[in-house]
Structure formats: C-alpha cells, structure tokens
Amino acid sequence: MGLAAEHGFYWRRPGATNWSVLDPDLGFGWKDIVLPILRLYTESTDGSSIESKESALVWHYKDADPDFGSWQAKELLDHLEGVLANEPVEVVPGATIVEVKPQGVSKGKAAERILAENQDTLNDFVLCIGNDRSDEDMFNAMPSKEGFCFACTVGQKPSKAPFYVNDPADVVATLGKLTEVDGGGGGAVAPSPSVSFAT
C-alpha cells in the first residue's frame, strides 16, 4: 500500500521503504513567524493547542468553548493572512482548526499526482474517501469515468463526493467488503492491488 501524508507533501509508493517529499528545497522560515502567534492564541484560549507537523503548523480549538473558539479562529485567520501575505504559504480554516501550510500542497494535488503516475495500473477501480473540507480538492481531482472512480465522504453533508458512508465504522466495513471477491458463493480474498494509497 502506498501512503500520502500531510496533504500529500510526503508520500511513499507501494513497496517502497523511503518517503518522497514534494519539494526538498522548500524553506520553512515562515514557521518562526507563525509559532509565536499560535502560542499567543493558545495562551488566551483555554482548550486550544498547537500541532507541529513537518510541513505545517495547526492550531486546534476542538476542546475550547465553541463560541469563543470560533471567534478566536476567525481573528487568528485574519491575523495570519495579514502577517503572511508575502510568504509562500496558505492559511486554511478547517473543522475546529486553523492550518498554515506551504502553497500548492493539497490532497487534490496529491491525488492528481498519484493518478498521473499510475494511470496504466489504475484502470479498474479507484476509491477516494475523506471526512473534512480539505478532502474536497481530492474529490474534485477524481476522474469522472463512470464505474471507475468513486469519491465518498464520511457523513451525509454537502460535498463534491457523490457518495457517502455514515461513519468511520462504515468505512472499515466497506473496505473489508472490497477485499472479498464473490467466487460463486464462496468469498475469496482478492489479490493485492498493484497500486493503492491511503491519505
């Protein structure tokens, strides 16, 4: 199985042991600007926290007071967009998060790259499942070949994905069923696909 991480900034091809990076020359000096600002908002917002990723910084407010957390997130978003206007980054709001990441890094770009690099081996079936706003670019990148690519969101909500499952347990159940092949009444385990990715 192949893996993509941090919105596709890192990926590992099926069978590989080493991770590839989107742009090995990309600088992260902007983190020195962002981190003190995130610390300030964390100190003034009970229940908030900072997640430091290799390629991004994320301010979480899931455990904060919902109204105050949302208000702080809007203020933080405006503050960061102003301070970072000349930096090669994006400030992205999400479900109870504000994330700062390099420009041009998205799950959609990762999906496009995976599909382009593997177009000869991905001709039978592609299933793309996601559960938040950052997955919409990925759903949009899926080719519209009927019966070939399936984009699916977790939870019934407005989405570019035409299909949905109710919850993460349904995702696991769906993936389990996909590993079974109907062989005339008896289930058999399907052979490993030549290329598969999880993000």
DSSP letters for 38-51: HHHHHHTSTT-EEE
Residues 85 and 152 in one domain: no
**pLDDT of res. 194:** 40
Tokens of 38: 């995130």
Residues 150 and 183 in one domain: yes
Is 128 within a domain?
yes
User: Which residue range(s) make up the domain with 68?
Assistant: 31-102
Is 25 within a domain?
no
Instruction: Give the predicted TM-score (pTM) of the model.
Output: 0.74
**pLDDT of res. 1:** 63
**pLDDT of res. 27:** 86
Tokens of 183: 């062989």
- How far apart, in Å, are the Cα atoms of 48 and each of 64, 68, 87, 133? 6, 11, 25, 20
Q: Considering the chain, what percentage of its residues have pLDDT values greater than 70? A: 86
End of a domain among 81, 102, 123? 102
End of a domain among 51, 73, 102? 102
**pLDDT of res. 55:** 92
Look at phi and psi of residue 61 and say left if phi exceeds 0, alpha if psi is from -120 to 50, else beta: alpha
Residues 95 and 126 in one domain: no
Angle between helices 31-43 and 66-83 (to 10 degrees): 160
Q: Which of 174, 141, 169, 171 is nearest to 153 (CA)?
A: 171
Is 24 within a domain?
no
Per-10-residue mean pLDDT, the chain, length 199? 80 83 85 98 98 96 97 98 95 93 88 78 75 86 73 90 91 84 41 44
Residues 193 and 146 in one domain: yes
Long-range CB contacts (within 8 A, 24+) of 128-134 = 128/152, 128/161, 129/153, 129/154, 129/165, 129/171, 129/174, 130/154, 130/161, 130/199, 131/155, 131/168, 132/94, 132/95, 133/93, 133/94, 133/95, 134/7, 134/92, 134/94, 134/106, 134/107
Residues 86 and 164 in one domain: no
Q: Which of 189, 180, 182, 175 is nearest to 128 (CA)?
A: 175
CATH number assigned to the domain comprising residue 60? 3.30.70.1020
Considering only CA atoms, give the Rg of the chain.
Answer: 19
What does the mean pLDDT of the chain come to?
Answer: 84
